[in-house]
Structure formats: C-alpha cells, structure tokens
Amino acid sequence: MRDNIKGGALTETTFLVLLATCSPMHGYGIMQFIENETGGRVALGAGTLYGAISTLQKKRWIEPIGDNKNDVKKDYIITQLGKQIAADEQRRLAEISLLAERILGGGNT
C-alpha cells in the first residue's frame, strides 16, 4: 500500500477504510460500507480489504476492538493517529478541489 509516499496522499482504498472504521466495523461491514457509500463505484475484494486492514494495523491507524478471540467477526476502529491522517487527507483533497474549481471554473466551460 503506497500511502504517504510523497505529499501525504493516501490511496482511495486506505482513505475509505479509515472512514469506514470511524464506527466499529468488521471486515464484511467495511466492504459493504465502501460499496454503498461510493454507489458501487468501489467494490473491494476480500484479499484487497484484508491486505489493507493488515497494513493499517501495522501503521497503527486502525486497531481491533474487544476480545475477538472467540468471535468469527473481528471489529476494527480508527485510532487517534488514523483520525489525524484522515483529516490531513480531507484537507489535501479540499485543496485540490479548490484548485480544480479555480482552473476549470467550477464546471462552467
């Protein structure tokens, strides 16, 4: 996962997983959230999702919650660090959107 390489940009998958885990959610719930919230434009496969979850846990941007040893479904929640990263990405995207609007004239071409 190539996040924060140059300029702090996140992949779309990373940003969407961080947003999904603002409330406790298990893997399949994250997949459904992303597909629903993007109107079906983004549909993650299990391998992509669980790879992202593993990477985000290693970065300490999300963490499992509760005692999931006996649970089939493991729930995840965004950490404070993850919230900061997501907020930084939101600001970065807003700046890009403003630039595009200024250059393209808000779609009045």
For residue 90, what is the domain's CATH number?
1.10.10.10
Classify residue 3: in a domain, yes or no: no
When comparing pLDDT for 66 and 98, which is higher?
98
Condensed to tens digits (0 to 9), the pLDDT of residues 8-42 reads: 799 999 999 999 999 999 999 999 999 999 999 99
Condensed to tens digits (0 to 9), the pLDDT of residues 73-104 reads: 799 999 999 999 999 999 999 999 999 999 99
pTM, two decimals, is 0.85
Q: In which domain, by residue range, is 22 found?
A: 12-104
Residue-level pLDDT at 56: 97
**Residue 3 half-sphere exposure, CB side, CA atoms within 13 Å?**
21
Mean pLDDT of all residues in 57-81 = 87
For residue 54, what are the CA distances in angstroms to 48, 59, 84, 109? Answer: 10, 9, 19, 44
Residue-level pLDDT at 9: 92
Residue-level pLDDT at 108: 55
Residue-level pLDDT at 6: 56
Classify residue 109: in a domain, yes or no: no
Q: How far from the centroid of its chain's Cα atoms is residue 32's Cα?
A: 13
Number of domains composing the chain: 1
Helix (H, G, I), strand (E, B) or coil at 65: strand
Residue-level pLDDT at 79: 98
Pull the structure tokens for residue 94: 């807003």
Q: Phi-psi bin for 77: left (phi > 0), alpha (psi -120 to 50), beta? A: beta
Classify residue 2: in a domain, yes or no: no
Pull the structure tokens for residue 98: 């403003």
- Distance (Å, whole) CA 98 – CA 70: 48
The yes-or-no verdict on residue 69 having pLDDT over 90 is: no
CB-CB contact of 21 with 42 (8 Å): no
Classify residue 6: in a domain, yes or no: no
Classify residue 57: in a domain, yes or no: yes
